[in-house]
Amino acid sequence: MTEEKQIVDKLRSLGAVENVSLSELTSFHIGGPARFVLRPTSYSGIQAAVSACKEYGVSLVLMGRGTNVLASDFGFDGLVIRFDTPIHSPVFSGTRVIACCGTSLMQLSRDTVKHGLSGMERLAGIPGTVGGACAMNAGAYGGEIKQILKRIRVLHENVVEWVTVLDDDLGYRKSRFSFPDAIALEAEFELLPDDGTALQTMQICMEKRREKQPLEFPSAGSTFKRPEGHFAGALIEQCGLKGYSIGGAQVSEKHAGFIVNVGNATEADVNRLIQYVTKTVKEQTGVTLEPEIKRI
């Protein structure tokens, strides 16, 4: 048996599917074919897939719901572990909740409010997974994962263990629990009893998101990190770039901090637009913008 057949057989045995378009897996709707895609149904399945990739020299990338991702037009010649569905339901115990990292952050946030808890309601509009949120220290409207994440179960160097989260483990849009340093499997959050305002706060944050963000077009969320002392969207708008397009990629007319796919945009279109926006903002304001989106 050739090594190529061994690789294919092994990944197929784990449930991997071949030649899946990344444009179907990302909220940007951009990207060529992935050689293999695996949606794991167990933590041991993730561990086995990582070991197989190591053994056979197959490139590996981890993806949640693909909401913060720009994928290559040429695809990915390796395995994408698409961890976008929960292996188990959230487990509530008092003010603590343990959630699988494939769980929708939106759904978990809503569930915590239903359970009479507060601390996650401001995150209810973020469309990614719990794992992605932990890997990026996701935040919105004054709330962020760092404030409530207490422990995280990770796969690192073929070892699965629970790790207590320290204060410097997460920062603005960064975390030591992000791939490839670690693969987050489960997360434990410490919340507070709801004082009666959680539902209203969640609804207000959701309404703000609908009003201000271009949810009607495919995108990868906020394109740029917030520069210290500034807001990326305000700087871009100040430079007259709202609505500026390259190919099918456009600086949103609704919120300049978003680049949206207004019609068959390619990775190349988005890259050129990011470069143009970065160059223009630097020349006109002196501020260097740093992309927030992840790349495959």
CATH number at residue 162: 3.30.465.10
The number of angstroms, rounded, from the C-alpha of 238 to the middle of its chain's C-alpha atoms is 28
Q: Is 95 found in the same domain as 77?
A: no
User: Per residue in 153-206, pLDDT tens?
Assistant: 999 888 899 999 998 888 877 788 888 888 999 999 999 999 999 999 999 999
Q: For residue 1, what pLDDT is reported?
A: 57
Query: In which region does residue 142 sit, left (phi positive, over 0), alpha (psi from -120 to 50) or beta (all else)?
Result: left
- What is the b/e burial string over 211-221, where b = at least 16 CB atoms within 10 angstroms of the residue's CB? eebbbebbbbb
Among the candidates 193, 223, 258, a domain finishes at 193
* C-alpha R_g of the chain: 20
What is the CA angle 113-117-122, rounded to 5? 60
Q: Is 61 found in the same domain as 108?
A: no
Residue predicted with more confidence, 1 or 91: 91
Q: For residue 156, what pLDDT is reported?
A: 87
Mapping DSSP to helix (H, G, I), strand (E, B) and coil, where does residue 50 land?
Answer: helix
- Work out the mean pLDDT of the chain and round it to a whole number: 93
Q: Does 274 map to a domain?
A: yes
Q: Residue 25 maps to which CATH number?
A: 3.30.43.10
Q: Does 285 map to a domain?
A: yes
Is 281 a residue whose pLDDT tops 80? yes
Q: For residue 249, what pLDDT is reported?
A: 97
Q: For residue 60, what pLDDT is reported?
A: 95
What is the CA angle 256-28-130, rounded to 5? 95
Is 175 among the catalytic positions?
no
Q: Does 203 map to a domain?
A: no
Q: Does 209 map to a domain?
A: no
Among the candidates 193, 223, 246, a domain finishes at 193
Is 3 a residue whose pLDDT tops 80? no
Q: Is 169 found in the same domain as 221?
A: no
Q: Does 280 map to a domain?
A: yes
Is 82 among the catalytic positions?
no
* Annotated catalytic residue, options 173, 186, 188, 267: 173
Gap between the Cα atoms of 87 and 129, Å rounded: 12
Q: For residue 172, what pLDDT is reported?
A: 79
Per the CB < 8 A criterion, the answer to whether 149 and 165 are in contact is yes
Q: Is 223 found in the same domain as 158?
A: no
Q: Is 98 found in the same domain as 63?
A: no
Q: Does 36 map to a domain?
A: yes
Is 24 among the catalytic positions?
no
Q: Residue 290 maps to which CATH number?
A: 3.90.78.10
User: Per residue in 223-279, pLDDT tens?
Assistant: 999 998 889 999 999 999 999 999 999 999 999 999 999 989 999 999 999 999 999
- The verdict on whether omega for the bond into residue 227 sits within 30 degrees of 0, i.e. cis, is no
Q: Is 223 found in the same domain as 265?
A: yes
Q: Does 198 map to a domain?
A: no
Q: Does 45 map to a domain?
A: yes
Per the CB < 8 A criterion, the answer to whether 294 and 70 are in contact is yes
Q: Domain limits at 241? A: 214-295
Q: Is 76 found in the same domain as 39?
A: yes
Q: Is 265 found in the same domain as 174?
A: no
Gap between the Cα atoms of 279 and 293, Å rounded: 18
Residues 6+ apart with CB under 8 A from 56: 3, 6, 7, 10
Percent of the chain with pLDDT over 70: 100
Q: Is 34 found in the same domain as 10?
A: yes
Among the candidates 41, 59, 82, a domain finishes at 82
Question: How many domains are contained in the chain?
Answer: 3
| Average pLDDT rounded to a whole number, residues 74-82 | 96
Q: Is 149 found in the same domain as 226?
A: no
User: Per residue in 32-45, pLDDT tens?
Assistant: 999 999 999 999 99
Is 49 a residue whose pLDDT tops 90? yes
Query: What values do phi and psi take at 207, rounded to 5?
Result: -65, -40
Percent of the chain with pLDDT over 90: 76
Q: For residue 138, what pLDDT is reported?
A: 85
DSSP string, 85-138: S-SS--EEETTEEEEETTSBHHHHHHHHHHTTEESSGGGTT--SBHHHHHHHT-
Q: For residue 102, what pLDDT is reported?
A: 94
Mapping DSSP to helix (H, G, I), strand (E, B) and coil, where does residue 62 land?
Answer: strand
Is 98 a residue whose pLDDT tops 70? yes
Q: Is 134 found in the same domain as 164?
A: yes
* Annotated catalytic residue, options 109, 118, 175, 222: 222
Q: Is 95 found in the same domain as 76?
A: no
Q: For residue 252, what pLDDT is reported?
A: 96
Q: For residue 290, what pLDDT is reported?
A: 94
Question: What is residue 168's DSSP assignment?
Answer: G
Residue predicted with more confidence, 114 or 124: 114
The number of angstroms, rounded, from the C-alpha of 283 to the middle of its chain's C-alpha atoms is 30
pTM listed for this prediction? 0.89
Q: For residue 100, what pLDDT is reported?
A: 96
